[in-house]
């Protein structure tokens, strides 16, 4: 067996046995952070660059899947990627933000608030580089509807479906498959073309809404609970008509894609807004810091 073929077989085997991921795939997180970079104030952009690890090459987006690689090293961080609900299409912080042991604030919303607070506080014991990378990742996660899915099916992870001809699960469809199919069908498999398309939507189709996306009146926290509530509502629609062994094809894809694109856009705009509030600087477009 040739070395390349052996390597291929090993990689395929590794992919087949990989545990179900609990995050937008690499592409989703990269896109959220790439969009965020373009909305940062000069001051925030400089502060972020100073905190990035050397391997990021000065790009926040390069670090936005780091948190997924730390889930086994930092086991406590695993529940911070999501906030599942009993399935009533709502997110209730007091009820839903805890880990499996019932420890409060151990969910994606609590994590966004905590890492934001840590970055604002220079005496925080947390490593600021890690806080930044966690924050950037979790703001992406909270926008993926199935990260606020239903507890009893682990946010769709236990619902096995066929995405066209491929066996996958409902959670993975929203993390990865919709984005992959869109890239292949509409963007020539080029991530930057898809990012540009989303950015263009933000400045054109969603120009009026965009201000509302970033508005947050909370003085003490972020508005991540609001983003989770939006996801919980979208998740209920995502589950509609989906059962074990369902086959999801064009109808589902064309309903899901606009939602995925908008959530990536909102994630990017809001991550930038949070970072701009943390690191100060003048508004890029009328954003008002209230903290």
- By the rule CB under 5 A, 23 interacts with Zn ion: yes
Q: In whole angstroms, what is the distance from residue 267 CA to residue 156 CA? A: 21
Q: In whole angstroms, what is the distance from residue 226 CA to residue 101 CA? A: 24
Closest C-alpha among 287, 212, 226, 262 to residue 28: 262
Q: Residue 258: what are its φ and ψ, rounded to 5°?
A: -60, -35
Of 150 and 279, nearer to Zn ion (C-beta) is: 150
Find the shortest distance in angstroms from Cβ 243 to Zn ion: 26
CB burial readout 125-134, b (16+ within 10 A) else e: eeebebbbbb
Find the shortest distance in angstroms from Cβ 45 to Zn ion: 24
Of 141 and 153, nearer to Zn ion (C-beta) is: 141
Of 27 and 141, nearer to Zn ion (C-beta) is: 141
Find the shortest distance in angstroms from Cβ 280 to Zn ion: 28
- By the rule CB under 5 A, 60 interacts with Zn ion: no
Find the shortest distance in angstroms from Cβ 26 to Zn ion: 11
Q: In whole angstroms, what is the distance from residue 147 CA to residue 155 CA? A: 6
Of 139 and 182, nearer to Zn ion (C-beta) is: 139
- By the rule CB under 5 A, 148 interacts with Zn ion: no
Of 140 and 281, nearer to Zn ion (C-beta) is: 140
- Two tokens, residue 208: 């009026």
- By the rule CB under 5 A, 27 interacts with Zn ion: no
**Chain position whose Cβ is nearest to Zn ion:** 23
- By the rule CB under 5 A, 277 interacts with Zn ion: no
- By the rule CB under 5 A, 81 interacts with Zn ion: yes
Residues, the chain: 291
- By the rule CB under 5 A, 141 interacts with Zn ion: yes
Describe the strand order of the beta sheet including 160-163 as a list of residue ranges: 166-169, 160-163, 247-248
Q: In whole angstroms, what is the distance from residue 66 CA to residue 88 CA? A: 32
Binding footprint of Zn ion on the chain (CB under 5 A):
23, 81, 141
């Amino acid at each position: 067996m040739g070395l390349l073929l052996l390597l291929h077989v090993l990689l395929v085997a590794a992919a087949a046995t990989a545990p179900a991921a609990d995050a937008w795939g690499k592409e989703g997180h990269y896109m959220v952070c790439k969009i965020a970079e373009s909305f940062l104030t000069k001051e925030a952009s400089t502060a972020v660059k100073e905190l990035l690890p050397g391997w990021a090459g000065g790009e926040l987006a390069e670090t936005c899947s780091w948190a997924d690689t730390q889930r086994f090293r930092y086991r406590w961080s695993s529940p911070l990627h999501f906030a599942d609900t009993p399935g009533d299409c709502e997110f209730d912080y007091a009820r839903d933000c805890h880990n499996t042991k019932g420890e409060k604030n151990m969910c994606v919303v609590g994590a966004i608030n905590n890492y934001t607070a840590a970055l604002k506080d220079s005496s925080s014991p947390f490593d600021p580089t890690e806080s930044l990378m966690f924050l950037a990742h979790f703001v992406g996660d909270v926008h993926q509807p199935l990260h606020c899915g239903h507890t009893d099916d682990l946010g769709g992870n236990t619902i096995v479906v066929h995405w066209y001809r491929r066996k996958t699960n409902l959670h993975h469809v929203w993390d990865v498959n919709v984005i992959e199919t869109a890239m292949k069908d509409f963007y020539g498999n080029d991530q930057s073309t898809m990012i540009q398309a989303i950015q263009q939507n933000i400045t054109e189709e969603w120009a009026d809404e965009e201000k509302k996306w970033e508005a947050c009146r909370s003085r003490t926290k972020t508005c991540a609970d609001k983003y989770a509530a939006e996801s919980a509502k979208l998740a209920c629609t995502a589950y509609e008509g989906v059962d074990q062994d369902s086959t999801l094809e064009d109808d589902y894809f064309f309903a899901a894609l606009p939602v995925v694109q908008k959530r990536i856009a909102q994630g990017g705009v809001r991550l930038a807004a949070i970072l701009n509030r943390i690191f100060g600087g003048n508004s890029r477009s009328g954003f008002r810091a209230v903290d």
